[in-house]
Structure 1
Amino acid sequence: MHAMKRLLATIALVWAGSALAQMTPVGVWQSVDDKTSEAKSQIRIAESGGVLTGRIEKLLRKEAKQDAVCDECTDDRKGKPLVGLEIIRGAKKAEGKDVWEDGKILDPENGKSYTLRLTPIDGGKKLEVRGSVLGIGRTQTWVRVQ
């Protein structure tokens, strides 16, 4: 009986840990066009030294050219392929909150970078991605790829 209680406690801890681990932007996400609700791309967000980066892994729109490059970019990403392009840079976890901010997100369609805030929602199944300039911006909701 005692061994059974220990087993159940261990399972509960593992389950709780995996649920908590999902309240992070780290992982693979499907971006959704906020105007058309069409799936746009698949983005992998990774963490290194407490800083997040995110790269496009796949272009999902039917008409997307998989060999397209970032013609609109004006920095080191100009002319680089969209697949593999780093669109999230420098986001860090806010003190005491499940929010990552102080980074930048690139919109490869217009080449502009925006101040970034990432907020996991719905138990980590979705990610609110807010890009803004001088407080004016827009929020997209990305969906975690299982």
Structure 2
Amino acid sequence: MKLVHIAAAFAAFSALGSAAHAADPVEGTWLVQAGTAKVRVAPCGGDKAKMCGVVVWMKAPNDKAGQPQKDLNNPDAAARTRPIVGLTMIRDFKPAGAGRWTGGKIYDPSNGKTYGSKISLNPDGTLKVEGCIAVVCQAQTWKRSS
């Protein structure tokens, strides 16, 4: 009987802990606008106060030789052998309100360039992802995925 009470107390404590640390609405897995990849957005590993995103799926994960797609366009020659799946694509976003993050960087493996970026949750539940050069920004809309 004590085991049941301990388990019930643990479950109640866990539920309270979860409620106290509710996920930001931008957290989750998102299908990029082109439908070619999915990015999991979550607090950064080294700094939980910032938001990052890792490529977790690609429509075409392998090259013509059957090997994982690599980061071939990276300006750092040493990074060109790393696979794109597992790559941190967005990083270092700082909170700017519920569902809004600014001051981050987005990396585009198709051209090897990194841009200033901001992300925000749209009213329809999609994610607006903007990459900026100076004051000119281009936006994409990502859809929530599983």
Give the TM-score normalised by structure 1.
0.72
| Aligned equivalent of 1:129 | 129
Counterparts in 2 of 1:48-127, with a 5 A limit? 48=44, 49-61=48-60, 65=63, 67-75=68-76, 77-94=79-96, 96=97, 98-123=99-124, 125-127=125-127
Of the structure 1 ranges 131-140 and 103-112, higher mean CA displacement relative to structure 2 is found in 131-140
Taking only aligned residues, the RMSD between alpha carbons, in angstroms, comes to 2.6
Distance 2:28 2:40 in 1: 6
Residues 119, 77 of structure 1: CA spacing in aligned structure 2 closer, same or farther, 3 A cutoff? farther
In 1, Cα distance between the equivalents of 2:122 and 2:62?
A: 29
State the identity %.
Answer: 29
Aligned-partner Cα distance in 1 for 2:59–2:36: 5
Aligned AA for 1:42? K
Q: What residue ranges of structure 1 are gaps of 5+ in the alignment?
A: 1-17, 34-38
Kindly tell me the number of residue pairs found equivalent between the two proteins: 121
3-state DSSP of counterpart to 2:74 = coil
Between 1:77-86 and 1:108-117, the stretch displaced more is 77-86
Alpha-carbon spacing, 1:23–1:51, altered in 2? closer, same or farther (3 Å):
closer
Match of 1:32, SS state, is coil
Gapped runs of 5+ residues in structure 2? Answer: 1-18
Q: CA deviation at 1:141?
A: 0.1
* Structure 2 counterparts to residues 25-36 of structure 1, below 5 A: 25-33=26-34
Residues 57 and 97 (structure 1), Cα distance of their counterparts in 2 relative to 1, 3 Å cut: closer
